[in-house]
A and B are shown apart, each in its own frame.
Chain A
Amino acid sequence: DVKVTQSSRYLVKRTGEKVFLECVQDMDHENMFWYRQDPGLGLRLIYFSYDVKMKEKGDIPEGYSVSREKKERFSLILESASTNQTSMYLCASSLLRGYNSPLHFGNGTRLTVT
Chain B
Amino acid sequence: GDSVTQMEGPVTLSEEAFLTINCTYTATGYPSLFWYVQYPGEGLQLLLKATKADDKGSNKGFEATYRKETTSFHLEKGSVQVSDSAVYFCALSNRDDKIIFGKGTRLHILP
Contacts and interface: CB of A to CB of B under 8 A. Distances in A.
Interface stretch (A64-72, A74-82, A96-104): A96-104
Contact of B97 (A40, A41, A97, A107): A97
B17 interface: no
Interface of B: 31-32, 34, 36, 41-46, 49, 51, 89, 93-95, 97-104
Interface string A78-114: 0000000000001010100111111111111000000
Interface string A25-59: 00000010101000011110100101000000010
Nearest to B30: A100
Contact of B43 (A4, A48, A101): A4
B32 A100 contact: yes
B98 A107 contact: no
Given A42-B89, A42-B104, A43-B89, A102 B46 contact: yes
A103 B51 CA distance: 14
22 contacts: A31-B97, A40-B103, A42-B89, A42-B101, A42-B102, A42-B103, A43-B89, A43-B101, A45-B98, A58-B98, A90-B43, A100-B31, A100-B32, A100-B93, A102-B34, A102-B46, A102-B49, A103-B99, A104-B45, A107-B42, A107-B43, A108-B42
